[in-house]
């Protein structure tokens, strides 16, 4: 389990993180999303032990990560800014990783090179952006980490490679108990693979929740009435948002589907339906409810 306790970090007068606290359970796939400049990359660097926080701490199963070689041996950080040896090949990077990580698996490395169709002797300088991203992913998985910190890992991958990487991560979670933490501005990618979500905004975690619970607790309702309807008439549902167009009313409400259905029946609409929200729609609603400008959240 990863415990993030009141972590803060500033760059001069700019505060990137302001007392961030969260818990990531072992074996879960945790999605970290947020607005531009919300501190996602800074938090991942601190979680990797590569950056010291100004305050607070990060622990893995109760062990602090800062200046702890044993803990760092269990963590691989896939930065959005990849480090590759100048003029080196995949095999050169393999030797570097093997010297740093005690659990590096050369058999797994060769297997993944074949799976990704990458020539281990080819110079990395001749790789495309997507190929370099593939190389960093397969090297990371070859280290057999317990924790994988991913910063925009899917950027630059084509749809086939994205699907392959998601499958590999899911297999590693199921077979070895890997715990990936995936930071991304692409909510559709997060929704495909993550089971827990944390929303980072303004330097702090607004909330962390299980994705399925989030989807069960918020819905869109579309209803047609034979009379004019004002938002005040929907007060028992406490709508997060409301709009009307002619006889059609659309609102976003919290609650379980059965509870919402019972309240709608009591209002005697001519027709209504309760629809699930996508992760993108959920977070727009969450940001609106908290008074934030959701247009700054990237999707």
| Residue 154 sits in the same domain as residue 274 | no
DSSP label at residue 74: T
The model's pTM is 0.85
> For 170-198, what is each residue's pLDDT tens digit?
999 999 999 999 998 888 888 889 999 99
Provide the greatest CA pair distance for the chain: 73
Domain count across the chain = 2
Instruction: Mark whether 124 and 51 lie in a shared domain.
Output: yes
Provide the domain limits for residue 263: 217-296
Domain boundary among 210, 242, 269: 210
Same domain for 129 and 37: yes
Is residue 235 located within the same domain as residue 129?
Answer: no
pLDDT value, residue 54: 96
Edge to edge, the sheet with strand 218-224 lists 241-245, 248-254, 218-224, 271-276
Tell me the pairing of strands 55-60 and 147-151: unpaired
**Residue entry with tokens 């999605």:** 31
Task: Please check the confidence at residue 290 and state whether its pLDDT lies above 90.
Answer: no
Selected residue with higher pLDDT from 205 and 146: 146
- Point out the least confidently predicted range of 71-75, 139-143, 230-234: 230-234
Q: What pLDDT does 112 receive?
A: 97
In a shared domain, residues 6 and 103: yes
pLDDT at 292 over 70: no
**Average pLDDT for the chain:** 90
Q: In what order do the strands lie in the sheet with 204-210?
A: 75-78, 147-151, 179-183, 30-34, 196-201, 204-210
Co-location of 42 and 175 in the same domain: yes
Task: Please indicate, yes or no, whether residues 66 and 164 belong to a single structural domain of this protein.
Answer: yes
Instruction: Estimate the crossing angle of helix 106-116 against helix 90-100, to 10 degrees.
Output: 150
**Do 200 and 243 share a domain, yes or no?**
no
pLDDT at 268: 93
């Amino acid at each position: 389990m990863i415990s993030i306790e009141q972590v803060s970090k500033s760059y001069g007068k700019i505060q990137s993180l302001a007392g961030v606290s969260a818990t990531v359970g072992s074996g879960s796939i945790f999605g970290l999303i947020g607005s531009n400049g919300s501190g996602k990359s800074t938090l991942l660097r601190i979680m990797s032990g590569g950056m010291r926080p100004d305050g607070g701490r990060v622990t893995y199963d109760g062990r602090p990560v800062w200046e702890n070689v044993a803990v760092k041996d269990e963590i691989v950080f896939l930065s959005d800014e990849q480090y590759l040896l100048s003029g080196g090949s995949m095999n050169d990077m393999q030797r570097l990783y093997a010297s740093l990580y005690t659990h590096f698996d050369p058999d797994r490395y060769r297997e993944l090179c074949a799976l990704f169709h990458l020539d281990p002797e080819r110079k990395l300088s001749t790789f495309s952006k997507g190929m370099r991203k593939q190389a960093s992913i397969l090297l990371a998985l070859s280290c057999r980490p317990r924790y994988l910190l991913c910063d925009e890992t899917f950027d630059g991958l084509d749809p086939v490679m994205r699907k392959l990487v998601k499958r590999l991560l899911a297999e590693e979670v199921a077979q070895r108990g890997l715990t990936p933490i995936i930071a991304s501005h692409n909510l559709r990618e997060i929704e495909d693979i993550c089971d827990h979500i944390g929303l980072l905004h303004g330097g702090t975690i607004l909330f962390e929740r299980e994705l399925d619970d989030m989807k069960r607790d918020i819905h869109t309702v579309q209803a047609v009435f034979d009379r004019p309807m004002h938002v005040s008439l929907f007060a028992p549902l406490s709508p997060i948002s409301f709009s009307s167009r002619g006889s059609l009313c659309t609102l976003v409400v919290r609650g379980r589907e059965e509870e919402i259905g019972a309240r709608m029946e009591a209002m005697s609409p001519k027709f209504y339906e309760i629809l699930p929200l996508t992760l993108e729609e959920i977070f727009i609603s969450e940001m609106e409810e908290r008074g934030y400008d959701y247009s700054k959240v990237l999707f």
